[in-house]
Amino acid sequence: MTNEAQSRLPRHVAIIMDGNGRWAKKRLMPRAAGHVAGVSTVRMIVRAANDIGLKNLTLYAFSSENWKRPVTEVSHLMTLFRAYVRDDVTELVRNNARLRFIGNRSRASADILALMEESERRTEANTGLNLTLAFDYGSQEEIVAAARELALAAARGELNPDDITKELFAARLSTAGTPDPDLVIRTSGEYRLSNFLLWQSAYAEFLFVDKLWPDFTREDFLNAVNSYARRERRFGAVVEETVA
């Protein structure tokens, strides 16, 4: 990739991986098979992100609402998540990638929690791709937690409410330190954000693709990144026309 192409890469791509269940249903297979296929796509997209030198990739692995699914499905998703974190961390280390998790950790099982902490520790000094898995994540909960922390600090007299700025607020979110997503992709033809990175996506470009997550390919991902590079981003400002 040329330097020019590299400089036009989004700094951060976030993906809502949707459609595993429908993918399985179309094939008359159990939903679990769709999630298994979904993990293969995760692996392939992480490799692609690493290959092109993307700095930040965030994947919505499990939402705080996903606990409402049938117990057997939740338990299968946990098994897949556990296996992914356990098995793929070696490759992430080899590729100088960093793995982090955002979301609520209080409901994770002890072994998953331990795996999360260990893989974060093992990869924390890595400087390549920063892979964030959103696990038991809900953006509204995250925003409320940040507001609560600031309110408590103000109540303790440590903070003047007049000093609360966007930056101060963002620093209390779980994504603090990571640039906001430039590009948010959702698969499966649904046009929703589903409580994902609401604050952080204020200026993101959105790409909704019809393909179901297990059908999403490396080429689809590269096309999405390239289509972003071609879009003009203005952040609410007017881009000055150059006078010929």
Q: Which residues are catalytic?
A: 18, 66
What residues from 59 to 78 belong to the interface with ligand FPP (CB under 6 A)? 59, 61, 66, 77
- Comparing CB distances to ligand FPP, the nearer of 120 and 229 is 120
**Contact status: 145 vs ligand FPP (CB under 6 A):** no
Taking each helix axis as running N to C, give the angle between helix 31-52 and helix 71-94, from 0 to 180 degrees, rounded to the nearest 10. 20
62 vs 135: CA distance, rounded Å: 5
Answer for which of 38, 103, 138, 181 binds ligand FPP (CB under 6 A) is: 38
Least Å distance between CB 19 and ligand FPP? 4
Q: How far apart are the first and last CA of the chain?
A: 31
**Contact status: 138 vs ligand FPP (CB under 6 A):** no
Amino acid type, 192: R
List helix spans (H) across 27-184.
31-52, 71-94, 110-123, 139-155, 166-170
Q: Select from 14-22, 116-124, 163-171, 198-206 the region that touches ligand FPP (CB under 6 A).
A: 14-22
Answer for which of 14, 32, 39, 150 binds ligand FPP (CB under 6 A) is: 39
Helices (H) and strands (E) in the chain, counts: 8, 6
Going by C-beta distance under 8 Å and a sequence separation of 6 or more, which residues neighbour residue 238? none
Using CB under 6 A as the criterion, which residues of the chain lie in contact with ligand FPP when the complex forms?
Answer: 17-22, 35, 38-39, 42, 59, 61, 66, 77, 80-81, 84, 133
